[in-house]
Amino acid sequence: MISPNEEKNILPEYISVQIGKNKFNIASEYLISSMVQQVIHKNNSLYNSDDYMMVFDVTKIEVTNYLETLSEEELECFDLLGDWLESFDEFQVNKNKVFCKDLIVEFSDKSRWILKFLDIMTIKNQIEGVDEDLIDPKDEILQSEEAFLNFINEKLSWKDICEHADLIKSDESDEKYNEEWKNATKEIIPWDKNLSIFDFISMGDIILEEDEIDDDGDDDL
């Protein structure tokens, strides 16, 4: 899970909500629940997720974070049936843009290894004894490529990250790669498309389904 990175406003207990031509004062809690249902129903992959309660809880946090970034004027008459889902999607993509990158590492034998930023941030949390699922978009190493690469070179080794490398590695090369890690050529590549947290959840479900298929295949052997 990614922790919020936007400036927050304190939500009022009740919010003026427009539904069609009518206006109602609705408790923030009820408004958030209604918005969560809209988000989930819009994303079929979320609605069909194996862990619906996790999806609901994550979506509730994201919707709350979104509302907390709105100005008082925007909350004065919130259009529940309007185009808020579009601005919510934009909020999500912008929030997670900093994570939608890969680190490419090239060693002296010209082998190239790809690591996701999210995997590296998870490793960082593990090393620092922080909840690995709570990744802060405002972490200082995410504020510039220089800061990120300095952390990679000074605080991590090949042994720390090799299990997260996308390419298949040779065990015989581990020691050499570990020695070369600090001075290996590194390049940061942004993804072609920035993803929301719901895209990451959907990807997780796809990976889980593939693992289950592989397990079933093994049972047949």
Write the pLDDT tens digit of every residue in 121-170.
989 988 888 887 677 778 889 889 999 999 999 999 998 988 888 775 55
Residue 219 vs residue 64, higher pLDDT: 64
Taking all residues of the chain, what is their mean pLDDT, rounded to a whole number?
A: 79
pTM above 0.75? no
- pLDDT higher than 80, residue 9: no
Mean pLDDT computed over 48-62? 78
> 151: part of which helix (H) or strand (E)?
helix 145-155
Starting at the edge strand found earlier in the chain, the sheet holding 112-116 runs 112-116, 101-106, 185-190
More confident residue, 123 or 221: 123
Mean pLDDT of 69-98: 87
What local confidence, expressed as pLDDT, does residue 212 receive? 43
In this structure, what token pair is assigned to residue 213? 């298929």
Neighbouring residues of 186: CB distance < 8 A, sequence distance ≥ 6: 103, 104, 105, 106, 149, 152, 153
pLDDT for 205 beyond 90? no
pLDDT at residue 207 above 70?
no
The dihedral over CA atoms of 163, 169, 172, 178, expressed in degrees to the nearest 10, equals: -50
- Amino acid found at 52: Y
Q: What are phi and psi of 200, to 5 degrees?
A: -65, -40
Please give the Cα distance from 156 to 177 (Å, whole number).
Answer: 12
Q: Are 23 and 175 in contact (CB under 8 A)?
A: no
Q: Which residue has the higher pLDDT, 196 or 150?
A: 150
pLDDT at 115: 92
pLDDT of residue 213: 41
Segment 177-201 shows an average pLDDT of 78
Map residue 21 onto helix, strand or coil.
coil
Compute the distance between CA of residue 189 and CA of residue 202 in angstroms, rounded to an integer. 22
Domain range summary for the chain, segments of one domain joined by +: 1-96+196-221, 101-190
Averaged over 5-16, what is the pLDDT? 75
* Alpha helices (runs of H) in 20-138, residue ranges in sequence order: 28-42, 44-47, 52-68, 72-76, 84-96, 117-128
Are the C-beta atoms of residues 124 and 141 closer than 8 Å to each other? yes
Q: Which of 47-56, 61-70, 190-199 has the highest mean pLDDT?
A: 61-70
- Kind plus residue range of the DSSP H or E element containing 175: helix 174-180
Question: What share of the chain in percent tops pLDDT 70?
Answer: 77
